[in-house]
Structure 1
Amino acid sequence: MCPPSRINDPDMNFQGDGMSRATTLYAYKLGIDTHQEPLVYMRTDCSICRAEGYTANTRLQIKAESGTLIATLNTVSEEILPPGSIGFSDSAWEFLALHHGQPVTVHHVPQVGSLSALRKKIYGHALSADEIGSIIRDISRRLYSDIEIAGFISACAGGRLSSEETTALTSAMAKIGNQLHWPEHEKVFDKHCIGGLPGNRTTPIVVSIVSAAGLIIPKTSSRAITSPAGTADTMEVLTNVDLTLDRLRKVITRTGACLAAGGKVGLSPTDDLLIRIERALDLDSEGQLVASVLSKKMAAGSTHILIDMPVGPTAKLRTQQQAEMLAELFRVVASALGLTVRCVVTDGTETIGNGIGPAEEARDVLSVLRNEKNAPPDLEARALYLAGQLLSMATGADDVQALQQAREILYSGQAWLQFRAICEAQGGLREVPVASHHIELRSKCAGRLHSMDNRRLAHLAKVAGAPSSPEAGLRLRVKVGDRVEAHQSLATLYAATPGELAYAREYFHQNRDLFEVTAMTPIPAVERQP
């Protein structure tokens, strides 16, 4: 479709005069996915571009009936857009809730006041709560470019956020977007894992156990950003996770819990904008990590939060000291915001469970909840421990009693019934898909499996197509410490297409040492004494 013919001469669409002059163009959806970066597109021969001095990479203010957006301009050749049109990336189109041919006005960008606070932080000065709040509000309103967001993230990295600034950042992020409130409940619970362990899909099991015990736990989770599966990816294999805020409330009111994706609900949405840039920069500052986690829990109405901190050589937290420093920051910020936080350090030296990737991790979750004989014992033990910690926070019982309560709920089948109830409330329980293609990854030699590289195992599953292809991933056939024979299967590799399978297999052949098999030490013969 083309915009109305009356706009074929865009020079006729000037409004106002001087620097305040706006120009009218007509919205055109180009269908370009730029993730969350808002981009607009104008023709290289556009008279407005020439008259106003707009060039590629110019920042423009776009006004529509539904709101205002600042976006970066790209210019395109004449055949891409009809005359008089302005093209939008998917994220920009959705933010303004546009329809085809809708008139929008294009303006020069006004001064963004909080940029002075950003420059102050870049030069190493501490920011007040009001200054941090103004930065977060302007980022949420899409007034910052990606470069400016990157400047803020970089200025806060490397321990340059004080605990007071982290508290202010957390509070500001929690106030942006939707918020849930549970006035009828004195305590509302949640959990979060710092991450870095493939297959560590404890959340669905923990939520099922503690909500079966009567705890309220409005659990929203993110999809994978750099890992082969997030909790939302795994749960999406089994049920609907894209719930509206109203539907989310109904699910929690009905079952006491949910296992939903956080994106559509809009809890602390600015965090998603920051995370996208953090991942691109490969920065994971402690202050912004704490603000990211606690702001979403606060927005969900949670008051008591368990933080799982795996520590290991290829986990996010490499040392006990690093974990202790982060735990202290969590406690200080949580206390300032009226939250109760318990941080527990767990073993992060190897993968958890047998599956890596959404479908394979879903199989592990179901096997534990159903009390199947082949359920991975490490996933079960870890989920029971974390559930026991939450139950201890709720009742004040000691860890031994709380762990026993968690075991009884799981082994009696109550947790499985509760999990099914949550899935039914969210839209029904689905069958786990089966991959169309697979191969066995075999050991070259006999010995004992000494270690596995968590990061490269995760990357292998991603190369196979996870999480975009839910059925892609790995199923481990051995664990650290197991005896291995020559040519024995170490893992089964799954993919949706032959090309992805071949690509992943090649990555494995180039990285065979991600499974470290050491030769067995022979037992010396003992000479029989006469």
Structure 2
Amino acid sequence: MAPEAASPAQLKVRRVQLDTGRENVIVISRRSEALRAEIYRGFSRVEIRRGAKVLLATLLITDDGLVGPDEIALAEPAFRRFAEPEGSLVTVTPAPPPESLGAVRAKIHGQALRDDEIDAIIADITSYRYSDMEIAAFLVGSASFMTSGELIALTRAMAQAGTQLKWPGLMVVDKHCIGGIPGNRTSMIVVPIVAAHGLTIPKTSSRAITSPAGTADTMEVLARVNVGVDEMKSIVAACNGCLIWGGHVNLSPADDILISVERPLCLDTREQMVASIISKKLAAGSTHLLIDLPVGPTAKLANDNEAMRLRKLFEFVGDRFGLSVEVITTDGRQPIGNGIGPVLEAEDVMAVLSNDPLAPVDLREKSLRLAAHLLEYDPALRGGAGYARARDLLESGAALRQMHRIMDAQGPSDCNSDLGDLTFDVKAASDGIVSAIDCLRLNRLARTAGAPLDKGAGIRLFKKIGDHVEQGEPLYRVHTFDRSEYSLAEAGANAESGYAIVPARRAKAAP
């Protein structure tokens, strides 16, 4: 009779206050009683098991007493996802590489992938079975070329990987900007206008990754944005709309993982952008989508030809999924509004909604234009009447009242909304007229000042393109809280302000 196999050794779960971002990380002691640490040196990933529950994680080995010899420490993300109490007994085994990596290698070698191969890759990425290096390999391979069939399969796989929302009405409208323009917080004005009219607009937005503020970061200055699916549905039922963080409702979760690897590599292919945006809108239950494509020298799209190619790609994918997509181009030559950073952008939004005479005109007009397009999806509204209706809802105060209803329904925010009290002004080096503003430069400068982590950090703009300036006159003011960030931002602004100023006579002579 064959001897019974020995039961695998077990370790007790311990939670450690270690923020590892989105990565699952576990730690064992080199003196572990159950595991020989040297066996795991060749494995970057391991599986921990308790009953039928399995978690894949990156293994670290420590000598410093962080974890006892009979314990396994789970960093915060891993502990949250494993969802077992401290003291639970688990087994640990090396994790075999995901089978879908074979498809990634095929993609790197120039092969087009089948739908089921793309499904498997996205499933493994969503389950945190891929390391960042393996995700990067998939992204780089896809950036080399992607067929239309692969694009459709990727969009579908990403949309189906997480929560998929359904709404009772036949029409659910939404808008999305591809980003890159500082201060472009039109969603926070469009949503209350459209919701006040009576259309359903459940807006899920992202947090900033490389920008100084995402819509969710700015809305969090005014109200809570970490809202679950059931609560989101209640808010939309009561208010026709919401402004929440999409990551909390798990829409297209693979997208957030892919983006976190794309951005440091400066990968931003058109196909991956379209799959990212359309997958989230499909998962959100949208039926009609307005896409904003800013065009400008330092925007993501430098000219109208680039915008046209991207527009056709959005329309192609939208048609394949039965999503009505309308794409418009907008002015991306300079920031929108007067503020860059969550608190300053929230001030701009509320000034527009309050009909403050000092509210930024460009933010107001762009928001009305976008809202007009969405309102004209309403069959009861005559063609061409969208702008007048949007303006009436804004000027009558209906949009502001709707915004307050949404804020009350989402609940108060607990973040600090004070404006940074360490400030310096960046001044014009000569007399003349502002001829250009570098959006990318100002984005980076605002992040250097501390935004969006410090919501009150950022930049208040005093001058826009076409404005006359005199030497020594302030172009913008930088707000920060931290002395080291102040010094870094000041040095960066002194090296390159992001503003181009030409003599007035040259500006007049320009066509």
Is TM-score (shorter-chain normalized) higher than 0.5? yes
Match of 2:70 in 1: 84
1:248-274 CA-partner distances (Å, limit 9, x unpaired): 110001001000011111111121111
Please state whether the residue corresponding to 1:306 is helix, strand or coil: strand
Q: Within 2, Cα distance between the matches of 1:360 and 1:66?
A: 49
Please state whether the residue corresponding to 2:90 is helix, strand or coil: strand
The Cα shift of 1:111 comes to: 5.2
- Tell me if structure 2 keeps the 8 A contact 1:423–1:429: no
1:490 is the counterpart of 2:475:
yes
Q: Which residue among 2, 16, 29 is the counterpart of 1:43?
A: 29
Sequence identity, in percent?
42
- Tell me if structure 1 keeps the 8 A contact 2:30–2:37: no
Q: How many residues align?
A: 504
Please state whether the residue corresponding to 1:345 is helix, strand or coil: strand
- Tell me if structure 2 keeps the 8 A contact 1:37–1:146: no
Q: Within 1, Cα distance between the matches of 2:376 and 2:140?
A: 39
Match of 1:9 in 2: none
Match of 2:295 in 1: 311
Match of 2:107 in 1: 121
Match of 1:453 in 2: 438
After superposition, the Cα gap between the structure-2 partners of 1:400 and 1:83, relative to the gap in structure 1 and judged at 3 Å, is same
Larger-Rg structure: 1
Match of 1:5 in 2: none
The Cα shift of 1:56 comes to: 6.4
The Cα shift of 1:409 comes to: 1.1
- Tell me if structure 1 keeps the 8 A contact 2:417–2:455: no
Matches within 5 A, 1:10-409: 16=5, 22-46=8-32, 48-50=34-36, 53-55=39-41, 58-64=44-50, 67-110=53-96, 112-158=98-144, 160-182=145-167, 184-395=168-379, 400-409=384-393
The Cα shift of 1:233 comes to: 0.4
Amino acid at match of 1:359: V
The Cα shift of 1:419 comes to: 0.7
Amino acid at match of 1:409: L
After superposition, the Cα gap between the structure-2 partners of 1:418 and 1:66, relative to the gap in structure 1 and judged at 3 Å, is farther
Amino acid at match of 1:510: A
Q: Within 1, Cα distance between the matches of 2:8 and 2:152?
A: 40
Match of 1:6 in 2: none
- Tell me if structure 1 keeps the 8 A contact 2:220–2:413: no
- Tell me if structure 2 keeps the 8 A contact 1:312–1:319: yes
Q: Which residue among 444, 448, 466 is the counterpart of 1:481?
A: 466
Q: Within 1, Cα distance between the matches of 2:10 and 2:269?
A: 42
- Tell me if structure 1 keeps the 8 A contact 2:289–2:325: yes
Q: Within 2, Cα distance between the matches of 1:51 and 1:261?
A: 40
Q: Within 2, Cα distance between the matches of 1:72 and 1:57?
A: 9
- Tell me if structure 1 keeps the 8 A contact 2:12–2:72: yes
The Cα shift of 1:422 comes to: 0.6
Match of 1:424 in 2: 408
Q: Within 1, Cα distance between the matches of 2:249 and 2:459?
A: 31
After superposition, the Cα gap between the structure-2 partners of 1:503 and 1:57, relative to the gap in structure 1 and judged at 3 Å, is farther
Q: Within 1, Cα distance between the matches of 2:35 and 2:266?
A: 36
Q: Within 2, Cα distance between the matches of 1:293 and 1:452?
A: 27
After superposition, the Cα gap between the structure-2 partners of 1:163 and 1:429, relative to the gap in structure 1 and judged at 3 Å, is same
The Cα shift of 1:148 comes to: 1.5
Gaps of 5+ in 2: none
The Cα shift of 1:51 comes to: 7.3
Provide the alpha-carbon RMSD of the alignment: 2.2
Q: Within 1, Cα distance between the matches of 2:496 and 2:506?
A: 27
The Cα shift of 1:144 comes to: 1.7
Q: Within 2, Cα distance between the matches of 1:401 and 1:387?
A: 11
- Tell me if structure 2 keeps the 8 A contact 1:71–1:145: no
1:41-93 CA-partner distances (Å, limit 9, x unpaired): 22223365537711165321111357312212122114222112122222212
Farther off after superposition, 493-502 or 246-255: 493-502
Farther off after superposition, 116-125 or 263-272: 116-125
Amino acid at match of 1:235: M
Q: Within 1, Cα distance between the matches of 2:507 and 2:491?
A: 37
The Cα shift of 1:123 comes to: 1.7
Match of 2:455 in 1: 470
Please state whether the residue corresponding to 1:60 is helix, strand or coil: strand
1:188-242 CA-partner distances (Å, limit 9, x unpaired): 0111100110011100101111111111011010110000000000000011111
Q: Within 2, Cα distance between the matches of 1:195 and 1:164?
A: 26
Farther off after superposition, 137-146 or 231-240: 137-146
The Cα shift of 1:397 comes to: 5.7
- Tell me if structure 2 keeps the 8 A contact 1:24–1:105: yes
Q: Within 2, Cα distance between the matches of 1:181 and 1:26?
A: 41
Q: Within 1, Cα distance between the matches of 2:8 and 2:136?
A: 29
The Cα shift of 1:398 comes to: 6.9
Q: Within 1, Cα distance between the matches of 2:271 and 2:233?
A: 30
